Chains A and B, each alone.
Chain A
Amino acid sequence: MNENNMLNLQTYIVDFNKPLKLSSGKVLEKYTLKYETYGTLNKDKSNAVLVCHALSGNHHAAGLYSNEEKPGWWNNMIGPEKPIDTNKLFVVCPNNLGGCHGSSGPSTINPENKKIYGSDFPIITVSDWVDSQKNLMKHLGINRWKFVIGGSLGGMQAFQWSVQYPSMIENCIIIAAAPKLTAQNIAFNEVARQAIMKDPNWCDGNYLENNVSPNQGLALARMLGHITYLSDESMKEKFGRDLKLSKLNYNYDVEFQIESYLRYQGEKFVSGFDANTYLLMTKSLDYFDPIKDMGDMFISNLNITNAKFLVISFTSDWRFPPIRSKEIVKILINNNKRISYSEINADGGHDAFLMNNQDYFDVMKEFIDEACNGI
């Protein structure tokens, strides 16, 4: 609890009644965002940081609630004297629209008809998230983010911020991301979606209404996803060909440790995640392509921003490998942006962005501290 006091962890829910026009053309008349904050907003509101979460993340990025075993997903990064230092910075982390941890999403009630949204919840894009986050920013009275920071899908939101609201962002940290997905990335997402949609309990997305859940499908989707978040190296190191029992049984039960681990990950995941949210998040990943979507606006807005960029990739990440992060770097260099890039030596795969790594933390800390001079 003491650490939470130092962190100044606060949780809020805010209702927005102004309609949000979405990329799809649909409109969300009303919506709710749940978010956490850490640290304290200074007088001139110049120390605010937006942390954007990834596919399976949520607003609970740091701190530990009394009923929890594990702290928030980025507790190693956010806190007093951590790289995102809450002694200096005021951090805001919302649950994305379409999520399943308190913000409006497919598992919440549609205020129009008082029924669970289910498949009626519109698809939300990265650009829509940025719009909703901008509304949250206005709600908090913040005019400019000192930093927008995110990894993976969160990194894409940070990148989008810099071109969607180029004058509202001072520093942009894009970790383990890409300017768009490849066919292979989309292919993995499609298999995940098929796993969910082929589950007999999916009920065309209206499973909650029918009091069932496509848990098998969601677990499979998560297992597949999980493989792509790890590296061959880290799997070898963690599991190798270790057996659960001492010998082979020549049947189809769990025999290798990796099988057991994946099944456990799948089962654990379904207890806290909504299948429709998973579908939505993978779709917004697939759709993400600001350079194409924004056309000339992309370059003209990039020219407007004074933001300083930091792009980070990890050597063993094959979901969004360094070469993909370098695509972002190249665009920024060739548009004369202030940008630094680091390729962190790590064998944790894509998930390395969530793991402890001294080089990674040092690079983050040096960049953030330098940018915080004067706060």
Chain B
Amino acid sequence: MAFRKDLVQISSWIMPNTKVLDLGCGSGELLRILQQEKNIEGYGIDNDINNIKMSLKNNINILQFDLDNGLKDFESNSFDYVVLAQSLQVIKNPQELIKEMRRIGKEIIVSFPNMGHWSSRLQLLFRGMMPITQSLPFKWHDTPNIHLCTIEDFLIFCKENNLNIEEVLVTNHKQQASLFTKIAPNFFGQIATFRIR
């Protein structure tokens, strides 16, 4: 399986020999790479037993926690980075979780699928139906994604919550940044990755 572009971006933002907490870490791919290439110390959190097994196989520290129950077991400022890669949209209370991430991490990294992508807009405009896209492949009734947002929404969210955006990367359906994603990220971007302090 190809390494997800947002994970490549995230790993490029992480300095060597740091401490990383990866929320919704899946099979632990990001942490595995970071451990091997950047000698980081880290923990992954996931609540799917199959991801737990795969993460153990990947030799990462994996904690089976439910992110909706918060991160109260972690001490303040105990990590250099807290990462939430493409899981923001499944969280019951994203505002609370991001607040917690900031409490624990010196820096936080959040990536999410952009609901403002042109294909989502066109589907709603012309078909009058909830969008189904490459990064959001579910029907409205069986989707785990309960808090979808656009890049514009997230920028406003950051402003309202005093989150300082250090860096943003927006990529298209080919997982690449293009001229289009640079000119009109909220229209052409499929995945957005934010580095926040």
The stretch of B52-60, B80-88, B114-122, B151-159 that contacts the partner chain = B52-60
Contact B63 A341 (CB under 8 A): yes
Contact A339 B61 (CB under 8 A): yes
Q: Does B95 contact A (CB under 8 A)?
A: no
Residue among A329, A336, A340, A367 with the highest chain B CB neighbour number at 10 A: A340
Chain A residues numbered 326-375 whose CB sits less than 8 Å from any CB in chain B: 326, 329-330, 333-334, 336, 338-345, 359, 362-363, 366-367, 369-370
Chain B residues numbered 76-108 whose CB sits less than 8 Å from any CB in chain A: 78
Q: Contacts of A359 on B, CB cut-off 8 Å?
A: 49, 53
Asked, given contacts A333-B43, A359-B49, A363-B56, whether A340 binds B73 with beta carbons under 8 Å apart, the answer is no
Contact A340 B56 (CB under 8 A): yes
Task: Kindly provide the distance from the CB of B41 to the nearest chain A CB, expressed in whole angstroms.
Answer: 7
Contact B57 A333 (CB under 8 A): no
* A contact face: mostly helix, strand, loop, or mixed: helix
Residue among B41, B43, B52, B65 with the highest chain A CB neighbour number at 10 A: B52
Q: Contacts of B78 on A, CB cut-off 8 Å?
A: 334
**How far, in angstroms, from A336 to B42 measured CA to CA in the complex?**
9
Contact A345 B49 (CB under 8 A): yes
Asked, given contacts A329-B63, A333-B43, A336-B41, whether A363 binds B52 with beta carbons under 8 Å apart, the answer is yes
Contact A338 B61 (CB under 8 A): yes
Q: Contacts of A342 on B, CB cut-off 8 Å?
A: 49, 52, 62, 64
Q: Contacts of A336 on B, CB cut-off 8 Å?
A: 19, 41
Task: Kindly provide the distance from the CB of A58 to the nearest chain B CB, expressed in whole angstroms.
Answer: 30
Q: Contacts of A369 on B, CB cut-off 8 Å?
A: 57
- Among the listed B57, B64, B65, B73, which residue makes an inter-chain contact with A366, where contact means beta carbons less than 8 Å apart? B57
**How far, in angstroms, from A26 to B56 measured CA to CA in the complex?**
43
**How far, in angstroms, from A150 to B29 measured CA to CA in the complex?**
30
Chain A residues numbered 170-219 whose CB sits less than 8 Å from any CB in chain B: none
Q: Contacts of B49 on A, CB cut-off 8 Å?
A: 342, 344-345, 359, 363
With CB as the reference atom, state the residue of chain B lying closest to A326: B73
**How far, in angstroms, from A326 to B64 measured CA to CA in the complex?**
10
Q: Does B74 contact A (CB under 8 A)?
A: yes
Asked, given contacts A333-B74, A336-B41, A345-B49, whether A367 binds B64 with beta carbons under 8 Å apart, the answer is no
| Residues of B participating in the A interface, judged by any CB pair closer than 8 Å | 19, 41, 43, 49, 52-53, 55-57, 59, 61-65, 73-75, 78
Report, nearest first, the 10 A-B pairs whose CB atoms are least far apart: A366-B56, A330-B73, A342-B64, A341-B63, A340-B62, A343-B64, A359-B49, A367-B56, A366-B57, A370-B59
Q: Can you spell out 30 A-B residue pairs with CB atoms less than 8 angstroms apart? A: A326-B73, A330-B73, A333-B43, A333-B63, A334-B73, A334-B75, A334-B78, A336-B19, A336-B41, A339-B61, A340-B52, A340-B55, A340-B56, A340-B61, A341-B62, A341-B63, A341-B65, A342-B52, A342-B62, A343-B64, A344-B49, A359-B49, A363-B52, A363-B53, A366-B53, A366-B57, A367-B56, A370-B56, A370-B57, A370-B59
